Amino acid sequence: MRIGIVCYPTFGGSGVVASDLAHGLAQRGHEVHLLSYESPARLWFHPNLQVHEVEVTAYPLHKYPPYTLALAVRIAEVCKAHRLDLVNVHYAVPHGASALVARALGRRFALVTTCHGTDISLTGGDPGFAPLIRWTLQNSEAVTAVSGWLARETRRLFRVPLPDVLPNFVDLARFAPIPVSPGLPRVVHCSNFRPVKRPCDVVTAFAKAARGIPARLDLVGDGPEAARARAEAARLGISGKVRFLGSQEAVEEVLRGASAYLLASESESFGLSALEAMACGVPVVAPRVGGLPEVVRHGRTGLLCPSGDVGALGRALRRLLTDEALRRRMAEAARGLAVDRFGREIGIARYETLYRKALAVRRSHA
Ligand code: GMT
């Protein structure tokens, strides 16, 4: 197939999944064209894979650069030049609308829209975007969601048929465990430090868990709440135990050998970083929200706590940090679940099968 993939190029989960998918499809012999405003952070080279950057011309009249329209024109150009069969947009806003405009410009590709989370749960609730998202979903040959929870939310909020669930996946060779060497127990958290990730709660929960225990918290990523998280660590007197590592390309190096992975998100449609941790044999402590229970099995591969209960997160984390037998059992089960359910090969094959179905739908409408 000749496939277009549209995504954000950032370290965020949707960009990571889309980049890995593009590379995996190229490895399987498809011709893949990735469109974004710059080359994604985590994209490996492959001869079958080409990146098309979208440029927005600066013009004094345009207070807000019209990226959505520039993307639409770029999709149409790439479709024409490379005769794309199908375009898969990752993150519904604004990529879906751009793809539909490209189609209105005369291109005849099948459209697959992959919903990742906040495109449905946050921007989806914004009346400024909702009609556009509904338009995208109704005019896609296939709509996918990364978890059962997100699929149900998409149906509920937009009154569309239930999307196909295509869970995120992980490269099991790259994200693999190493034997834990005796040393300071380490807790890891990775995110874009947006309010929805509640990074201050991560710091607070760690402080509760690590009281009187030698342990360290490694925070990966950056974003608007990073300064507040730093201030929270100082306020709690644990700055010496917390390291802010910023964006890391080889996040697996930070995850390997950690004792636990900690999330405090208000909402999480899937939790790709939790899956990456599990694949590295790191048990997860997280709130029971969104699609997280589909990834983290409570009592088996980690511990789930009531949403917004920082005290419970702290207690659960302390249990893992102080009970080595429990930690080891969960570490093994976490890797096992990642291998059984969320491997890259099976994840990419699921997309391939869905693309073939979407093409058949498109042909039947032609
Ligand atoms: O974080 C976001 O708001 C967007 C997105 C991203 O690009 O990182 O994250 C979402 O997609 C990821 C990949 O499918 C999921 O693992 C995240 O759970 C999801 N984020 C939220 O639902 C908050």
Domains and CATH numbers, the chain: 2-169+343-365 (3.40.50.2000), 186-341 (3.40.50.2000)
- What gap in Å lies between CA 123 and CA 117, rounded to an integer? 9
Exposed, middle or buried by CB within 10 Å (0-12, 13-18, 19+), for 60? exposed
Q: Which atom of ligand 1 is nearest to the CA of 10?
A: 7
Q: Residue 277: what residue type?
A: A
CA atoms within 13 A on the CB side of 112: 30
pLDDT at 366: 75
83: number of Cβ within 10 Å: 12
What is the per-residue pLDDT for 57?
A: 86
pLDDT by residue (tens digit) across 294-342? 999 999 999 999 999 999 999 999 999 999 999 999 999 999 999 999 9
Q: Are 147 and 291 in contact (CB under 8 A)?
A: yes
Distance (Å) of CA 58 to CA 37, 55, 121: 14, 9, 32
pLDDT at 128: 81
User: Which two tokens mark 290?
Assistant: 């969104």
- Does the beta carbon of 303 sit less than 6 angstroms from any atom of ligand 1? no
- Is residue 102 within 8 Å of residue 79, measured between CB atoms? yes
- Distance from Cα 269 to the centre of ligand 1, integer Å: 6
How far is Cα 274 from Cα 276, in angstroms, rounded to an integer?
Answer: 5
What pLDDT does 124 receive?
Answer: 66
C-beta of 268 in contact with ligand 1 (< 6 A): yes
Pocket test for ligand 1, best of 116, 165, 194, 288 (most atoms within 8 A of CB): 116
Q: Which atom of ligand 1 is nearest to the CA of 117?
A: 22
In short, whether 314's Cβ falls inside 6 Å of ligand 1 is no
Backbone φ/ψ region at 222: left (φ over 0), alpha (ψ -120 to 50), beta: beta
Atom 13, ligand 1: residue with shortest CA distance: 13
Question: Which amino acid is present at 115?
Answer: C
pLDDT digits (tens, 9 = 90+) for 248-302: 989 999 999 999 999 999 999 999 999 999 999 999 999 999 999 999 999 999 9
Query: Which residues in the chain show pLDDT less than 70?
Result: 124-125
Cα–Cα distance measured from residue 272 to residue 170, given in angstroms and rounded to the nearest whole number: 8
Q: Which atom of ligand 1 is nearest to the CA of 273?
A: 16
Alpha-carbon distance 298 to 81, whole Å?
49
- Per-residue 3-state assignment (H helix, E strand, C coil) for the chain: CEEEEECCCCCCHHHHHHHHHHHHHHHCCCEEEEEECCCCCCCCCCCCEEEEECCCCCCCCCCCCCHHHHHHHHHHHHHHHHCCCEEEEECCCCHHHHHHHHHHCCCCCEEEEEECCHHHHCHHHCCCCHHHHHHHHHCCCEEEECCHHHHHHHHHHHCCCCCEECCCCECCCCCCCCCCCCCCCEEEEECCCCHHHCHHHHHHHHHHHCCCCCCEEEEECCCCCHHHHHHHHHHCCCHHHEEEEECCCCHHHHHCCCCEEECCCCCCCCCHHHHHHHHCCCCEEEECCCCHHHHCCECCCEEEECCCCHHHHHHHHHHHHHCHHHHHHHHHHHHHHHHHHCEHHHHHHHHHHHHHHHHHHHHHHC
Q: Cα(273)–Cα(266) distance, rounded to whole angstroms?
A: 15
